[in-house]
Amino acid sequence: MAPDEPDQAVTGVWRAQGGAVGDLSPHFSTRELSDRASGSLPVDVSHLVDHLEQLRAICGDRPLEILSGYRSAATNARVGGATDSQHLYGRAADIPSGYATVDQAERAGFSGIGELDGWATHVDVRPGGPARWSY
């Protein structure tokens, strides 16, 4: 289960050691979803990864690049992320514009979707219902 508080996410992390493709799922690795600065990752991102696998399948099984996954509080602040960003909890991923439509992201079961010109660019598995916004 993903941590419920950012402080828990920061203290409940482990250092990614390598992260070969497929160490989290058939197509995703710890390296892809780890904090870019520290290499840390919440212990359990399986719910997010399950939905990323579903999105990849819906989009024709094309490789899906993760631009940003888990973020430590320091990384989130540095990139200007929301103070309660789902990235802090290991529940969010930013993906390239043009990979998946908002409809495809919804079909994959994402509850939070940020979009740019009709393309999903942020997907998350936040609890408590759907959230949609545009950049």
Looking at the 3D structure of the chain, how many domains does it have?
1
Distance of alpha carbon 58 from the chain centroid:
17
Q: What residues form DSSP beta bridges with 95?
A: none
Provide the residue-wise pLDDT of the chain in tens; the chain has 135 residues. Answer: 333 444 333 323 333 344 556 889 999 999 999 999 999 997 589 999 999 999 999 999 999 999 999 999 999 999 999 999 999 999 999 999 999 999 999 999 999 999 999 999 999 999 998 999 999
Which domain covers residue 71, as residue numbers?
Answer: 6-134
Q: What residues form DSSP beta bridges with 131?
A: 112
CA nearest to 87, candidates 108, 105, 66, 106: 66
Q: What is the CATH number of the domain that holds 84?
A: 3.30.1380.10
In a domain, 33, yes or no: yes
First CA to last CA across the chain, in angstroms? 29
CA nearest to 9, candidates 37, 34, 27, 32: 34
In a domain, 1, yes or no: no
Model pTM greater than 0.75? yes
